[in-house]
Structure 1
């Protein structure tokens, strides 16, 4: 399988797990589990690093995912970085028991630990603030793993 195809497969695997998580989809859907989590795809969950259009974009929450490879380690091993963007409009962030960004990020982190993507576990290599547009704030989480070429 070609390297770019492997990255797409990694990303799809992460997105499938996210959309199967009732806790994450409920948080993204205003606290209510969606009847069909697949409806969140391209509305709240994006298979690319999406940003809302302009500072007047409708208040919403988002989880975006991409998989990249900084470099092949060698001919048999490919290093993969999985990036999650978790962010929301400021009007959506405050919850009675914490904040939406932290809750989604924590659930996503739990989900990705031991999820079977790559060789071994996914290592969190960074968690940094992220603000794609005025009034939207969140976190960028980056995980590292390796996959075997072959």
Structure 2
């Protein structure tokens, strides 16, 4: 298996542009869904509301993750802050019971957000695993203190 790609400013900027475009598509799709009619209109409206909330929240988390990385690359966040607060959380996929009640175009858009989020999650996990072998700042400090104590004696 190939080593995970490092996250760099060019990758983050490309993903950020993609996230903004996808977020705009999500907003437009859910804003213009129209009136739901039929005998199961209430169930379909609930399904649409639930999936709209889940999908927009998924994209907000993705954009926030990308903004944290942008802030890191321009020096507004330290690596410690990024590692501590910039983790991309697991986010549930669409509910199959709700999804069958939506139009195919809406299901495709929801699936696109799920795939985008999964790409970011793989990047985040790869970046965290790649650096996992490095000792923490506290471990390095303890090692330096121990070396200093040996020299002093």
- TM-score, with structure 1 as normaliser: 0.29
Return the structure number with greater relative CO, CA threshold 8 A, min gap 6. 2
* Higher share in helix: 2
Q: Which has more radius of gyration?
A: 2
